[in-house]
Amino acid sequence: MNLPAFRYTALFTLLFFPQVLFAQGTNTNPGIITGSILDASNGKAIQGASLTIQLLADTSVKHTQLSLKDGEFLFEKLVFGYYRLRVNAVGFAGLSIDSINIRQERFDFDLNDIKLNRAASTLNEVVVYAEKPLIENKDGKIIFNTGESALSSGATTTELLKQTPLVNVDNDGKMLLRGKEVKILIDDKPVELDSKQLQDLLESMPGSMIEKIEVMTTPPPQYANERGGVINIVTKKNKVGFNARINVNYGTRGEAGINGNLGYRKNKFVLNFSAGFGYNQYRSNSYSNRQNYYADSISYFNTVGESGSNNRRPNFRLSLDYDLNKRNSLNFTSLYNSNNSASNNETEYSNLNRNSQVYRLSNRITGTDNESWNPNFNFTYTYKGKDPREVLKLITGINFNANNNVRDFYQQYLNPDNTPTGSDSTQQQGTYSKNHSINLNLNYDRPLVKKLSLHAGASFSRYNNHNVLNTRFMKKPENVFVKNEQLSNDFLFHQTVLGMRASLRYDIVPDFYINAGVQVEHTGTNFDFKTDTSRFANNYWTLLPFGTVMKKWKNDVSITFAYKRTIQRPRLNELNPSLDYADPYNTRSGNPYLQPYYADNFDLIFGKWHKKYNFNISVGYNSLQDIYSSIRTLLPDGKTFTTWQNISGRKEYEASLWGGYTISKKAKANLSFGYTFNEYSAFDRTVRYFRNGGSFYSTLNGSYQFNDVWNANASFTFNRFANPQGTVRNTLSMNVGVQRKFFNKRFIVTVNVIDPFRQQQNKNYTYGSNFSLESSSTTNTRNYRIALSYVFKKTPKQSGKEALLKKLKKN
């Protein structure tokens, strides 16, 4: 560890560790239970509900009060032990909540909204209270309760996703689940953005606004044909009345941020507004060593580079919910985020002969300025039938994006002894793109007979992009910029996808069902180049069947078998024929002739849930046809060219495990890891020199609850990705956070230590028929972050009984 890192670590230890040991409360009866009583049919607060809290070990110890005007209640000064809460109100069914465990490490419980059903329709209910662990397995979902984590303060949503079990991010920034691309939802609504827009959105969303992240490896029918599964990001919801929160954070790496949210909830109306601004900067260095093989000789091409970048990301989100009645509800959500970034890169290129002697040398400096704007709007209508299984949901959205990117290149040519040759070149490449998309999703669930239910739906999406690329070079000796027509283009891109699906679910017995269905899709894409008559169009129909069999036993053992056929459509960045020559010796572009690929996916999942431990094991086999991948080729002049190509196919054999263990009441640990082995055809291995290989991903999470106001979390990840021409290796990533709450939990201080021992490093190994390449990059990810949060909330009021007695005395 270097000296600055040691100093920060020592400071962190001195500030927090002694307080962890000695910060014990002096109050002998510190227990608190609070919450709000609401009408389940309309969301209105219930005033005057009778509440009784009773100690189970000694039933003579009990307290009674009435709920206030806004439905709130508060029990204070409770001794340690297990409690039962009983709620009764005129015209409503009674409700009992058992097993609320008040103890030294947690004595403050906020039960949030407790909803009572009408007495005419429902018998008295009994609920066993279960505290939220950091990570849990529930209803076939892996749930990361980020709201319970010290890692969320000051973090972005991308950082939280990297710490989620079975989730990882590849070197291109794509989000992966079990090594496959995944569908992202926010509050159960699909995010229909391209990969770059999605990255910007997740980087701009503060982790403090996230309640939990749900991972669905076997998603519901409307997303059953998503190859990687589904990740649902659930934002925090408000309690009754007004509340607000403000967060500021600073990191030694060169980052700072401020964000806040306001919430208001009354009866049928819910308002949430959040806004923020984030800044970060990175420094990195890299090298690459390439060996070129020719019929009669060998040569070498090496690079050494340094780069720096900074990003400024403002964002806001507005969400409005309104319940028309108990069956019909509306939601409107508006999102806006932008990214203003700048970067610089300096690279030295050297060509060496077979004797490792330099015969060509140059330096290239690249400066980049980028601006992007992303406003998005969504509207959702939900209808619930008399039978709770009948649900109709309409989700619509429109997304806009504008992006302006300008890159300046200056290259100076040198003699082998580093003296200037007197020759240089200057170029400029400007890209302006403007796009919008419209999407519509209709989902309908309906029970047909006692054990049989129907799911049906339709979807429509339309994506339009206008991309203008202008490339200019400086003409010498006039020193004027001249447009390069061959490296410039102006095109329109359109993609329309229309889908219809239907599935049936048959419940053989409780916790044993079969679900099967099919989705039919029509896709139409086309490029229209304004600069010439070139036009690339592709239209095709796709039939995508799927099926699931699930059995769960009373001892919480479950087995699931799932099959699905999936399609992966090439995105614009994979199709875009514009030539990227940021590195003139390693150019790249998309391929407008690229075809989609299909996969048949088979998964067998075994799960076991126990109070002390739980685990989930899955094995799978995937057969991929006509897949596409990024392929690098060595050209006769010694340069390489990278583009996307369809190859014959691939077989995947995969296994993954996720598990959690309760070490003690205070300590819990969760581990997830997976391995996927890729096997290519004999043709690809012999003709294209592809290599079979495996990808490995792993995450280890731990949490420790010192007491009700002190908690700590830690996360460690390691990934290794395989590709047809080699592998990408990532070093270990580490994040440790400690959180302390002050002033009745209104003021929260969080300290995070990120990668204190070693910076993030990526190593790439690429092999072709006539070259081999080793490249490495290191980024300054070491960071010591402090985050401060303040929660604005109403001061706890007197109990309903005390307020009533006080009023009677005055009279």
Tell me the pLDDT tens digit for each residue of 349-387: 999 999 999 999 999 999 999 999 999 999 999 999 988
- Of 269-278, 561-570, 615-624, 730-739, give the lowest mean pLDDT range: 730-739
Query: Are residues 217 and 264 in contact, defined by beta-carbon separation less than 8 angstroms?
Result: no
- Of 158-167, 314-323, 481-490, 565-574, give the lowest mean pLDDT range: 158-167
d(CA 641, CA 33): 64
- Average pLDDT, stretch 657-679? 90
Q: What is the pLDDT of residues 394-440, one digit of tens each?
A: 999 999 999 999 999 999 999 999 999 999 999 999 999 999 999 99
Quick check: 551 pLDDT over 70?
yes
Q: How would you classify the pairing of strands 613-625 and 649-662?
A: antiparallel
More confident residue, 295 or 52: 52
- Of 59-73, 141-155, 455-469, give the lowest mean pLDDT range: 141-155
Indicate the Cα dihedral angle 52, 53, 57, 59, nearest 10°.
-20
Strands of the 175-177 sheet, one edge to the other: 167-169, 175-177, 180-181
Q: What is the pLDDT of residues 753-777, one digit of tens each?
A: 999 998 888 888 998 889 999 999 9
Quick check: 20 pLDDT over 80?
no
Quick check: 634 pLDDT over 80?
yes
Burial label, 452 (beta-carbon count in 10 A; 0-12, 13-18, 19+): exposed
pLDDT at 547: 96
- In angstroms, what CA-CA distances link 787 with 460, 739, 745, 754, 784? 42, 9, 15, 13, 10
Q: What is the mean pLDDT of the chain?
A: 86
> Six-digit token pair at 744?
């009745």
Instruction: Return the ∠ at Cα 586 (arms to 435 and 625), rounded to 5°.
Output: 65
Q: Up-side HSE of residue 254: CA atoms within 13 Å toward CB?
A: 12
pLDDT at 21: 43
Quick check: 810 pLDDT over 70?
no
- Average pLDDT, stretch 565-573? 91
Superfamily holding 138-792: TonB-dependent receptor, beta-barrel domain (2.40.170.20)
Q: CB within 8 A of 664, min separation 6: which ones?
A: none
Quick check: 488 pLDDT over 80?
yes
First to last CA, the chain: 71
Domain ranges of the chain: 3-131, 138-792
- Report phi then psi at 209, rounded to 5: -90, 0
Segment holding 399, helix H or strand E = strand 391-414
More confident residue, 91 or 518: 518
- Average pLDDT, stretch 88-109? 84
Q: What percent of the chain has pLDDT over 90?
A: 47
Kindly report whether the peptide bond that precedes residue 477 is cis, defined as omega within 30 degrees of 0.
yes
Quick check: 62 pLDDT over 80?
yes
- In angstroms, what CA-CA distances link 709 with 154, 409, 739? 18, 53, 8
Highest mean pLDDT among 13-17, 67-71, 595-599: 595-599
pLDDT at 128: 62
| Amino acid at residue number 571 | R
Q: What is the pLDDT of residues 283-330, one digit of tens each?
A: 999 999 999 998 888 999 999 999 999 999 999 999 999 999 888 999
Q: What confidence category does residue 238 fall into, taking pLDDT thresholds of 50, 70 and 90?
A: low
Indicate the Cα dihedral angle 192, 197, 200, 203, nearest 10°.
30
pLDDT at 131: 64
Q: What confidence category does residue 584 fall into, taking pLDDT thresholds of 50, 70 and 90?
A: confident
Select from 195, 227, 225, 230 the least CA-distant residue to 575: 195
In CATH, the number for domain 3-131 is: 2.60.40.10
Select from 267, 240, 265 the least CA-distant residue to 326: 267
pLDDT at 123: 60
Under DSSP, the state recorded for 131 is P
Burial label, 220 (beta-carbon count in 10 A; 0-12, 13-18, 19+): middle
Instruction: Return the ∠ at Cα 263 (arms to 259 and 264), rounded to 5°.
Output: 165
d(CA 45, CA 37): 6
- Of 368-382, 551-565, 714-728, give the lowest mean pLDDT range: 714-728
d(CA 608, CA 657): 12
Highest mean pLDDT among 67-76, 82-91, 496-505, 662-671: 496-505
pLDDT at 125: 67
> Six-digit token pair at 206?
């503060």
Reported residue count of the chain is 811
Q: How would you classify the pairing of strands 141-144 and 210-216?
A: antiparallel
3-state secondary structure 404-459: EEEEEEEEEEECCCCCEEEEEEEEEEEEEEEEEEEEEEEEEEEECCCCEEEEEEEE
- Of 133-142, 361-370, 730-739, give the lowest mean pLDDT range: 133-142
Q: What confidence category does residue 11 fall into, taking pLDDT thresholds of 50, 70 and 90?
A: very low
Tokens 């990705």 belong to residue: 721
d(CA 163, CA 625): 32
Q: For the chain, give the longest Cα–Cα distance.
A: 108
- In angstroms, what CA-CA distances link 417 with 8, 355, 361, 367, 420? 42, 16, 9, 26, 9
Quick check: 143 pLDDT over 90?
no
Mapping DSSP to helix (H, G, I), strand (E, B) and coil, where does residue 488 land? coil
